[in-house]
Structure 1
Amino acid sequence: MSDLLEAVDALLARPDVLPPPHVRAELRKAAGLRQDQVAEVFGVTRVAFHRWETGQAKPHRRRLEAYAHLLNGWARKYPEAAAAPPVPEQEAG
């Protein structure tokens, strides 16, 4: 059984798995931070961070691990934001 639990822990700890984009934004907002504030910590532009948050781009390895760590920490701190349903897109009319 401990082998199975270790395997599950390894899956949970994967540094390259990020929550869906809408959850990323909700977690950041729950923490009361703007995109430019988080971007500054990571040493990237606000535009680059925006692309991470919206799923248009993925950070490189070192920043990816740190970003996943940040999101996981926020998810523990703000579980309601981590469970946010996607916002439906407005229909063009």
Structure 2
Amino acid sequence: MDLTTADGEFRASMLAAIARFEVRRKGERQTRANAQRAAKGGVPKGTRLSGYTTDGEVVHDEAETVRALFDGFSTGLTLRTLSRDP
């Protein structure tokens, strides 16, 4: 594609617009699917949340760690300090 010509610039602009459209459409579909899953009581998709299984059940050992981190953060400890605690 020769971007120095009107024809080449037009073709590149059209391809870029189509790509932006597809990205936005995919995002809208994902947003609707996530809302539908949440309305049915489902768990979020993607990376498994620490403290929970993919089915939404509590993993007690991980949950204790998550609680300790949130407790420390709420008392003013920094993330750097919390990351160093064994």
Report TM bin, short chain: under 0.3
Choose between structure 1 and 2 for higher RCO, CA contacts under 8 A separated by at least 6 residues.
Answer: 1
Q: Select the structure of larger CA radius of gyration.
A: 2
> What's the TM-score, normalizing by structure 1?
0.22
> What's the TM-score, normalizing by structure 2?
0.23
